[in-house]
Amino acid sequence: MSSLIKKEIREHVFSRKGVWIFFAISILFSGLTYSFISVKELSLLAQVEVNMTFMKALIGISILVSIILGSTMVSGEREQGTLESLLLTPLSKVKIILSKVVGILVFWLIISVISIPYFYALTYGTNMLLTILSYLYLIGLPLVISFSLLSLAFSTWISSSKNATLLSIVLFLVTAIPMFLSTTMKKSGFAHLVDLLSPVSASMLTLKDWLVNRLGFFFIFMDSLPVLCFLAISIICLFYASKKMDFLGGE
């Protein structure tokens, strides 16, 4: 399995496309960070809010990039004709899928490492850096991985990379809807339901309660429950999807 993991990392993380994505992300981060001192409105923001804004951007970008990556991993192999050879090896389907999960995880970890100098600069003069990094790896990581696992599951179920990517992006947008709605809209009806259940909303609430309101562990844990439930659901979906990774017949 380690050989397959190395292959996934070489193919997706250290490929030409992969490293250019890292460069593009670093440019984005630089633009955003620099705007916190150059754009008048943003420069007047409290330092906690500055870091919250950067964290939201980081998580949003990470999720989008990871779901695009995950949604092409299995369907891409099927389209280029390499899946059959992999399935014929002694490796089980679960191990083949897990090696792809590790590939996505490594990809995200590199993005998170790129973000560290930016967080250092933005938390300078405060003792927030450890809290920020704790949030990033305890809440941000499960959230990004959950979306990646689901996109990988779609990639396994759906033969077309394009359709798998589309479905993954729609799922992300549905869970991110509350971020675009006003407070009033989120207080009742369907928007309220989505806001309650959405792991993206839950992660934002956890961020606010952890950094701004400085609530205790119990409240943080309760806030982050939808994220953890979403992770569990995505693991189950991926497990079942891996069993369906096969061929119909003579196609």
Partner 1 sequence: MIKATNLTKQYDNGFVAVDSLNLQVNKGDIYGFLGPNGAGKTTTIRMLNGLIEPSDGSVTIEEKEVKSENALVSKLIGVLPESHGYYNWMTGREYLKLFAELYGVDKKRIKSRVEEVLEWVGMAGKADILIGQYSRGMRQRIGIAKTIVHEPSIIFLDEPTLGLDPQGQKDIQSIITRLNQEQNVTVFITSHLLKEISEICNRVAIVKQGKLLEEGYLDELIKGYRLVLRNENPTLEDIFFSLTTDEVGGSI
Partner 2 sequence: MLKKAGIVLAILLGFVVTGQNAFAMEQPNVEVKVISPTQVKDYPGKETTVKAQITNHTNQSIKDLVVYITMADMGKKWTVNLEDYSADKPEQVKELKPGETKEISLPIRFVYTSNYYLYVTAASTHSLDIYSSNGIPIDIMGNTKINPTIIQVVSMGTPLIVLVFVGLNFTKNRRKRVA
249 lies in the site for partner 1, by CB under 8 A: yes
What Å distances lie between residue 123 and 49, 186, 208, CA to CA?
A: 11, 31, 16
Amino acid identity of residue 207, one-letter, is L
Calpha distance 155→8 (Å, rounded) = 15
Q: Which residues bind partner 2 (CB under 8 A)?
A: 14, 16, 19-20, 22-23, 26-27, 29-31, 33-34, 36-37, 41, 43-50, 114, 117-118, 120-122, 124-126, 183, 212-213
- Give the count of beta carbons closer than 10 Å to the beta carbon of residue 24: 12
116 lies in the site for partner 1, by CB under 8 A: no
What stretch of H or E contains 106? helix 93-122
- Tokens standing for 104? 């996505």
Calpha distance 3→10 (Å, rounded) = 11
- Tokens standing for 222? 């309760």
89 lies in the site for partner 1, by CB under 8 A: yes
Calpha distance 86→76 (Å, rounded) = 13
| Minimum gap (Å) between residue 200 Cβ and partner 1 | 34
Contact window for partner 1 (CB under 8 A) among 61-69, 78-86, 195-203, 213-221: 78-86
Comparing CB distances to partner 1, the nearer of 84 and 170 is 84
Q: Per this entry, what is the length of the chain?
A: 251
Per-residue x/- mask for partner 1, residues 5 to 44, rule CB under 8 A? --x--xx---x-----------------------------
Comparing CB distances to partner 1, the nearer of 35 and 92 is 92
Out of partner 2, partner 1, none, what residue 49 binds, judged by CB under 5 to 8 A for its kind, is partner 2
Binding residues for partner 1, rule: CB under 8 A, are 3-4, 7, 10-11, 15, 77, 80-82, 84-93, 246-250
